[in-house]
Amino acid sequence: MELPDLLLLHFFRRRHEANWNEVREAYPYDDRRLREKLAFLETNLHILEHSGTGRGTTYRLSRRAAAILSEGVAYDMMRRLDKEAIKVRILSLLEDRPLSNKDIRSFTDLGRKQVTGLLKELETDGQVYSSGHGAGALWHLRVKD
């Protein structure tokens, strides 16, 4: 299981059920990649199930996954990801599109200042740069030649 899978599990562990737009906000990959990830978690790992179609689709943890998580077996989904894992996650998401501080907060459960600190570290390391200021600022992956 990869980090994006665990982040989705964490999201569903907290929410139990969500519609397409809610999942999309919490998982800022492009729509195609998100659909593939949801399908993989449903058909291959049997962690999610869905009902409805199109915009009315609702996703939820499968009974099996909910039972495992409620027993606390194998992992603790409520624990925050460590700092380096979050940095890796931010960099992987920036490969797809620029992100705001708010976007990053939605999938890390970190506060605004914590996210700003991580982004400043990545900026100092020459991995990201920002455009804009304040709430409208977007962070971009610095492409190395």
Burial class (CB in 10 A: 0-12, 13-18, 19+), 99: buried
Distance CA 24, CA 126 (A): 29
pTM assigned to the model: 0.48
What pLDDT, on the 0 to 100 scale, is given for residue 74?
A: 41
The share of the chain scoring above pLDDT 90, in percent, equals 20
What pLDDT, on the 0 to 100 scale, is given for residue 140?
A: 94
What pLDDT, on the 0 to 100 scale, is given for residue 145?
A: 62
Report whether 93 contacts 129 (CB < 8 A): no
What pLDDT, on the 0 to 100 scale, is given for residue 73?
A: 40
Which string of DSSP letters, residue by residue, matches the chain?
--HHHHHHHHHHHHHSEEEHHHHHHHS-S-HHHHHHHHHIIIIIS--EEEES-GGG-EEEE-HHHHHHHHHT-S--TTSPPPHHHHHHHHHHHHTTS-B-HHHHHHHH---HHHHHHHHHHHHHTTSEEEES-GGG-EEEEPPP-
List the chain residues with pLDDT less than 50: 73-80
Distance CA 21, CA 14 (A): 16
Structure token digits, residue 10: 């964490």
